[in-house]
Structure 1
């Protein structure tokens, strides 16, 4: 057995948090890892981010180096992965890890935060626990060993169930875990327990539309001035004489929706995000299409994604109050995340992170990132771009942002966040994460100043940050008055910590180390409250 394999097993040993055994085991693991690294046999610590962690915590106190600002009150919730194998079955892509939620309850002036973590009790999770192995469901990549014929049929029937990408609060009240498919799981915000599976009604769906999974966005766009969200969903028609449809919908709650537009399509694009301004919803349908027959044949949705560089990107714009519809086109590319969108007269401005193709998604597979010498494609880096959509001429222009010599890489950020108070309007600062030439082994946090030359970088060797969240100072004057929260893996201690950065200076202002490491998380958000425990008792 390789050293890396032994360490992988040791780090997953169950421990009793109420005994000294935890200390003994972790001391042994630390000694073992030190010897292994000294012998040059240990892969980069970032692999720990993609290592299963079955530990859960309830109201665990995490000490901070400094007291929190008085104005920081609420819960920071993140969604991501917790387990990548079960029994004799293994996942082949990290984006498929069984969903695990993490929360940090912050109280202004306190020198500690309260940490909770729980697995999302999806049907996929519960069936897998019951069977003692990964149950037959569809995932983005695949499950190995391959399913037998009957289990392949079960996987197609069960579909995709693992909502491990994002969290949103519908109707300003109920917290939901989302994926890129049309259903969610309601979560109790106080303790992260799973409440129920929810499927907001689809106004124009027939019985045959539920035969195939229903793609949607894990990043529904907030509707300005309301608690509503705008999302899209795609209906696959299995009858050859009927077209597929791309639908744009308003979500008022998990039980109330309104159809805004239905667009016939001969193909179904895979889309991760969308955008909205004060009056318009914008759906960018890039030419990354889902080949449903590939899914039927091999139960591998990632292999079913086909990028057609020779086809244009369709842009659909819908007025949120009149339902007036526009269809525009631009060059082929792959749009990943919306940064911000705003309108001025007849012009809409959509800032986004984009890629030249989908090769990065394939490069993230376990056989590459766990190899010890992963190979990263030349075009793995994102580019932040601005689309200018002129509704009066129905034209689209694409602009790149200026770079600063020596800091050109800042423009390759992804997982973007901004001051949420500056959504729907002109703004200056984008915060994100940048991969270096060594991919996941070289990760930086960056601040992009699109109005000037104030780009900034945070980097620590062998420390691996995740997506940030910007929490604005309610008494602040400037756009960048606030703090950034980030979960970072410390590759030296092999534990994670909650990092606080001054969003203006990009300097570290606080740290709180956790009792364990947190596997890969994708997205999250901060939910403010007024310090009252009563507000947190429900979902």
Structure 2
């Protein structure tokens, strides 16, 4: 995919300058309802449900958030560790309520469909903190405003006014001519996960020059979503550079429909893994490894399809697992009806999912990442998950920690109108569950006979080592990255205490897994929390302390919505004690929207 034209860049720059001026004006006027003053963030939100719930502090996280294109300095309280220097990138939605040129309101219904807004909190030497943000789906916004409706395939947007004829026509057109979605400009919503230094992009002479002129130490910065779409960004400014899919890297991967937003990356080898799903009467999962060429960043990357796994179940999978020996596709239950064609009929994933089946087992497909074979399959009772936490090889077993739900109906709990309503339904909560796949190599020997007959491996039962109670519910997990793919002691996430009226998370949680193994899941010593009145934290990001001698030595970074002031702050906690070290407050008039994920890039070691 070629980079945007000069004219398009000039247009984007003009729009960015206008948005920046609006954001600065909003800040100067101390306008706490900042979305009304920012045309590029929705151009008016007077009739939105958010404004009718001013007394409900959590609703501020689902209002339109203005761009801050030029960096602003935040007010720091406390002492930021002198070794903490770098950039925290945050992803997620930032706009839900638009107004067409004719004055018609366009409302985005679901949290997952909110228009992409990416954020950068930069911690400078000496403890100064700056913030900037960027809307990265402007063309899509304009398309919605022009159509006066949310168009195209979405995650959960429903259109009750669509007639049977319209549904049939849309399905026929998509099936025979393609969906019509163009992979260009900023016409796609890519807002879930960051990958710094993605190995799949070669660095030509022009790119090498651009990298040398940047302040950031990164070669590139990529965002992903659950579709077959990736977006490259400028690591300094967050300016969108291009949209592409895996077919840009290898033609055989372009026809796949979905890919988990969370790839798996081996930090030692820098190998990048993903699982690409192609819809059809028999769903096809391609397990793909991407490696930078040994010839250097200027050469084409190495792309390998390690295995192709056929299944009668096309399933929405947001993440999977990796160990030093295996890729493990965690095939939980969230299946598309009609071989995936239901997405074209309904125009969204949510209405396309089949009902939960309590009698349908879930699978773990184990792929040898070195020999490139599907060597074993394990089965478990049905569950659903967004996020795996960590996995590792333990003798001949594979151990996998997952934030598991009872079923996928949790997705329906995140409609924006529900989350804005103080009397809304609290979302279903996940629990930390540990699975064990026993004696993988023994099952691999048995499956060799199956392979010779052209048959898949015979499923074996997966064991559950333990799971935590719902009182210690657990989502948006993180850990010390130095322990990834290895046994570990601490994991961190967000938690709903049940002690406040918050519909979603109101505290951060640290879980001591060693303490649970020693004293059981009811041991209060296994849990530590951070909580503040009317505050909603986001996924914590662990940054290890230099020269640490203990896994817990480091800090947690979280972006927190302050419902009392309708602003936000960057929170820095001691990861061992969960005590606050420092915070950096955002300016008045700038909320901190509830976002998805983050990554910290150390200025000195990236």
Question: Shorter chain as normaliser: what TM range?
Answer: 0.7 to 0.9
Specify whether residues 17 and 329 from structure 1 end up closer, same or farther in structure 2 by C-alpha distance, changes over 3 A only.
closer
Partner Cα separation in structure 1 for residue 550 and residue 304 of structure 2: 37
For 1:355, the equivalent position in structure 2 comes to: 405
For 2:124, the equivalent position in structure 1 comes to: 107
State which of 23, 27, 37 in structure 1 corresponds to 2:29.
23
Specify whether residues 185 and 21 from structure 1 end up closer, same or farther in structure 2 by C-alpha distance, changes over 3 A only.
closer
Partner Cα separation in structure 2 for residue 413 and residue 369 of structure 1: 19
Give the SS at the match of 1:52.
coil
1:318 aligned to 2:367?
A: yes
Give the SS at the match of 1:46.
helix
For 1:252, the equivalent position in structure 2 comes to: 291
For 2:319, the equivalent position in structure 1 comes to: 273
Q: How does 1:265-344 map to 2 (within 5 A)?
A: 265-291=311-337, 292-306=340-354, 307-325=356-374, 326-344=376-394
CA contact (8 A) 1:45 1:462 kept: yes
* Deviations 1:350-404, CA, capped at 9 Å, x for gaps: 1110001012211111232223311236xx121101111111355421122467x
With 519-528 and 441-450 compared, the bigger mean Cα shift is at 441-450
Partner Cα separation in structure 1 for residue 384 and residue 395 of structure 2: 27
**What is the CA-CA distance between 1:294 and the residue it aligns to?**
2.9
For 2:143, the equivalent position in structure 1 comes to: 127
Q: How does 1:101-250 map to 2 (within 5 A)?
A: 101-110=118-127, 112-121=128-137, 123-125=139-141, 127-128=143-144, 131=146, 133=148, 136-142=151-157, 146=161, 149=166, 156-158=179-181, 161-169=188-196, 170-171=198-199, 173-201=219-247, 205=252, 209=255, 214-223=257-266, 225-237=268-280, 243-250=282-289
State which of 491, 509, 521 in structure 1 corresponds to 2:595.
521
1:45 aligned to 2:57?
A: yes
**What is the CA-CA distance between 1:333 and the residue it aligns to?**
0.8
For 1:10, the equivalent position in structure 2 comes to: none
Partner Cα separation in structure 1 for residue 126 and residue 79 of structure 2: 5
For 1:499, the equivalent position in structure 2 comes to: 571
For 2:14, the equivalent position in structure 1 comes to: none
Specify whether residues 41 and 294 from structure 1 end up closer, same or farther in structure 2 by C-alpha distance, changes over 3 A only.
closer
Partner Cα separation in structure 1 for residue 77 and residue 34 of structure 2: 27
Partner Cα separation in structure 1 for residue 152 and residue 275 of structure 2: 23
Partner Cα separation in structure 2 for residue 59 and residue 502 of structure 1: 26
**What is the CA-CA distance between 1:141 and the residue it aligns to?**
0.9
Give the SS at the match of 1:58.
coil
Specify whether residues 275 and 145 from structure 1 end up closer, same or farther in structure 2 by C-alpha distance, changes over 3 A only.
same
Partner Cα separation in structure 1 for residue 271 and residue 360 of structure 2: 33
RMSD over aligned CA atoms reads: 2.9
For 2:478, the equivalent position in structure 1 comes to: 417
For 1:399, the equivalent position in structure 2 comes to: 465
Partner Cα separation in structure 1 for residue 591 and residue 159 of structure 2: 26
Partner Cα separation in structure 1 for residue 583 and residue 346 of structure 2: 45
Partner Cα separation in structure 2 for residue 314 and residue 298 of structure 1: 27
Give the SS at the match of 1:158.
coil
Unaligned runs of 5+ residues in structure 2 are: 1-18, 36-51, 100-104, 200-217, 293-299, 444-459, 516-524
Specify whether residues 132 and 324 from structure 1 end up closer, same or farther in structure 2 by C-alpha distance, changes over 3 A only.
closer
Partner Cα separation in structure 1 for residue 475 and residue 505 of structure 2: 14
* Deviations 1:270-311, CA, capped at 9 Å, x for gaps: 111111011111111112101234322221211112232211
**What is the CA-CA distance between 1:73 and the residue it aligns to?**
1.9
Give the SS at the match of 1:289.
coil
Q: TM-score, normalised by structure 2?
A: 0.75
Q: TM-score, normalised by structure 1?
A: 0.84
For 2:92, the equivalent position in structure 1 comes to: 80
Unaligned runs of 5+ residues in structure 1 are: 1-12, 30-39
Give the SS at the match of 1:343.
strand
State which of 391, 396, 411 in structure 2 corresponds to 1:346.
396
**What is the CA-CA distance between 1:426 and the residue it aligns to?**
1.2
Specify whether residues 24 and 375 from structure 1 end up closer, same or farther in structure 2 by C-alpha distance, changes over 3 A only.
closer
Specify whether residues 262 and 441 from structure 1 end up closer, same or farther in structure 2 by C-alpha distance, changes over 3 A only.
closer
1:365 aligned to 2:415?
A: yes
Partner Cα separation in structure 1 for residue 109 and residue 537 of structure 2: 23
CA contact (8 A) 2:58 2:420 kept: no
CA contact (8 A) 1:91 1:144 kept: no
Partner Cα separation in structure 2 for residue 21 and residue 284 of structure 1: 46
Give the SS at the match of 2:112.
helix
CA contact (8 A) 2:92 2:595 kept: yes
**What is the CA-CA distance between 1:69 and the residue it aligns to?**
1.5
**Which structure's residues are more often strand, by fraction?**
1
For 1:5, the equivalent position in structure 2 comes to: none
**What is the CA-CA distance between 1:344 and the residue it aligns to?**
1.9
**Which structure's residues are more often helix, by fraction?**
2
Partner Cα separation in structure 2 for residue 423 and residue 206 of structure 1: 28
Partner Cα separation in structure 1 for residue 24 and residue 488 of structure 2: 49
